[in-house]
A and B are shown apart, each in its own frame.
Chain A
């Protein structure tokens, strides 16, 4: 197991890649503060079930990342356990309406950026200060290939591009505190978010991949776990695409 004894915050933990990341981390021996936006009994039951199965602890913590006071309260709740924070996985994200750039209201772009970028940046500021106390840590940002290649929804792809750029700058600034920062850029992955995009978009996305299939959340989570682990101790400022091969 590559994460034994590590303590991790994973955001967006209730669904999709975030949920898969919680399980991947637990299966590798990590304890998890599982951040989700909305209180959810099924999510809490899943956390307990995974914790029992893998003999770790997984604590649900609720926070809307667009609310700074809520983010502070959530971090304080985790810090109350008086444990070091070793890993932060920023997975929380949202996607706007299916429309073109010229028809996307600026307020809608702001809304997407509030969650996908600003909220995540604020949480990362707090979390990396916590990591800096021990002069070690790893941040894994879940970005998107849309942030590299551009995507059909400008607000989403631009917010992910911002995250990729932030990954590199954070890596540069936090290295001296022993904190590594990397990003994973998933391609078309089988989640609730992509289910809403429709069959035509899915077929088109699959056709662009060398492997001719969509990715699974677990395949993204496995790379996140590696980047968060000490096996990647000399890896920072990198963006690792998990996209089935798009050339």
Chain B
């Protein structure tokens, strides 16, 4: 599985959304991505890419695209 596939899958499974919906999501603007879903998503991303995100990055994780940018800091290229 490519990093892109793992990344998309983490969003789909953690937030229970479709592949089409995932890239459009913004934190706090949909029922799927609330604070609880956020922590599930963080756990899923950390598990998928074997990283431990810093608190500032967890707070910054606000969209599908932003997540890619944050993961780059942990040497993960999506």
Contact = CB atoms under 8 A, between A and B. Distances in A.
Interface of A: 72, 75-76, 79, 125-126, 129-130, 132-133, 173, 176-177
A70 to B, nearest CB: 14
Interface in B38-78: 39-40, 42-44, 46-47, 52, 55
- Determine which residue in A76, A79, A125, A132 has the highest number of CB atoms from chain B within 10 A of its CB, and name it: A132
DSSP class of A's interface residues: helix, strand, loop or mixed? helix
A132 B43 contact: yes
Nearest to B36: A176
Nearest to B44: A133
B41 to A, nearest CB: 10
A133 B46 contact: yes
A177 B52 contact: no
Contacts, number: 27
Nearest to A82: B50
A132 B47 CA distance: 9
15 contacts: A79-B52, A125-B55, A129-B39, A129-B52, A130-B43, A132-B39, A132-B40, A132-B42, A132-B43, A133-B43, A133-B44, A133-B46, A173-B36, A176-B36, A177-B40
B25 to A, nearest CB: 18
Nearest to A68: B55
Interface of B: 36, 39-40, 42-44, 46-47, 52, 55
A125 B55 CA distance: 10
B51 to A, nearest CB: 10
- Minimum-distance CB pairs A-B, first 8: A132-B43, A133-B47, A133-B43, A129-B43, A176-B36, A76-B52, A129-B42, A129-B46
A76 B42 CA distance: 16
A173 B38 CA distance: 12
A72 B55 CA distance: 11
- Determine which residue in B40, B42, B43 has the highest number of CB atoms from chain A within 10 A of its CB, and name it: B43
Nearest to A132: B43
Contacts of B52: 72, 75-76, 79, 126, 129
